[in-house]
A = this chain, B = another copy of it.
């Protein structure tokens, strides 16, 4: 059995910088035609110059591959219309992080009142710049995403022309909210389609599956699977692949993040085939994103074949999801 995907896209990707960038970027570029690259470097990307320079470093790391890094800017409430007009051509979206909610998000938003955010959001809406949101409060870890939903709703209502992407949704509540507003969309990761909190902390503790938002309950995973498997037009694949060196994952104070980029397509094919919906994978990993963002990625065919993939224990110093395990599908030629 085989499946050829046309221009697969990963609409939520952490490529990091420096040596890590050079390790992981070629792996995404190998399997995908493009990816939305997150701006949470240290310091975060907040100027057109930052974005352009980072894009150059990414292109340098990937070499000859046909792969478009779609760039993002780190949301600051002080961005005004003139600034956004200037930066518009360098980015596909702006990513909003609540302050301190995840890796390198310390400079994020503290005040979610519409008064505080409205000028920037108004300008984004007028200029047609989508808003990507890490939607979690600083409440109890299992409730953070559900607690954030009223904020999504306030923004969606006030700015009906603003395209809002609920990033890496993990709950039934988020799936429900998604359907209530026309301008809400969502990315779904590979790992949240596969795991629940049981896989992280139900047996022995599994730091390589520890991520933010944390994996939730079985009924939440079911809600995510339902919309992903039908390739609902409001959802698209975004791996949130987030590499950390082993020393940061395999020690007390383990950093949040699952590294899934290099095994994402085989693992998705396996899951979609098991669910009997392999024919919907093209929409989930490319077509929906093209429509939501209005983009045309490089023409690139990626052939998946139903032959076992032995997942490496590491890529460089990074342990991938399914390390040492065998997936039922592989990317042809990898």
Residues of A within 8 A of B (CB): 140-142, 196-198, 200-202, 204-208, 210, 214, 217-218, 249-256, 319
Contacts and interface: CB of A to CB of B under 8 A. Distances in A.
21 contacts: A140-B196, A140-B197, A140-B202, A140-B217, A140-B218, A141-B197, A142-B197, A142-B217, A201-B201, A201-B210, A201-B214, A204-B253, A204-B255, A205-B207, A205-B253, A205-B255, A206-B252, A206-B253, A207-B207, A208-B252, A250-B252
A319 B196 CA distance: 28
A56 to B, nearest CB: 32
Contacts of A214: 201
A205 B244 CA distance: 14
Contacts of A200: 201
A107 to B, nearest CB: 17
| Number of chain copies forming the complex | 2
Contacts of A255: 204-205
A204 to B, nearest CB: 4
Contacts of A253: 204-206
A250 to B, nearest CB: 6
A256 B204 contact: yes
Nearest to A214: B201
Contacts of A210: 201, 205
Contacts of A256: 204-205
A301 to B, nearest CB: 36
A198 B250 contact: no
Contacts of A140: 196-198, 202, 217-218
A311 to B, nearest CB: 15
Contacts of A254: 204-205, 207
Nearest to A209: B252
A283 to B, nearest CB: 31
Identify which of A141, A206, A249 gathers the most chain B CB atoms within 10 Å of its CB: A141
Given A200-B201, A201-B214, A214-B201, A207 B252 contact: yes
A50 B250 CA distance: 37
A168 to B, nearest CB: 16
B202 A141 contact: yes
A200 B140 CA distance: 11
A218 to B, nearest CB: 6
A210 B218 CA distance: 21
Contacts of A249: 252
Contacts of A251: 250
Nearest to A323: B252
A247 to B, nearest CB: 11
A236 to B, nearest CB: 27
Nearest to A249: B252
For the complex of A and B, the 9 pairs showing the least CB-CB separation, nearest first, are: A205-B254, A141-B202, A204-B253, A205-B210, A141-B198, A207-B252, A205-B207, A141-B197, A250-B252
Contacts of A208: 252
Identify which of A201, A206, A210 gathers the most chain B CB atoms within 10 Å of its CB: A201
Contacts of A201: 141, 200-201, 210, 214
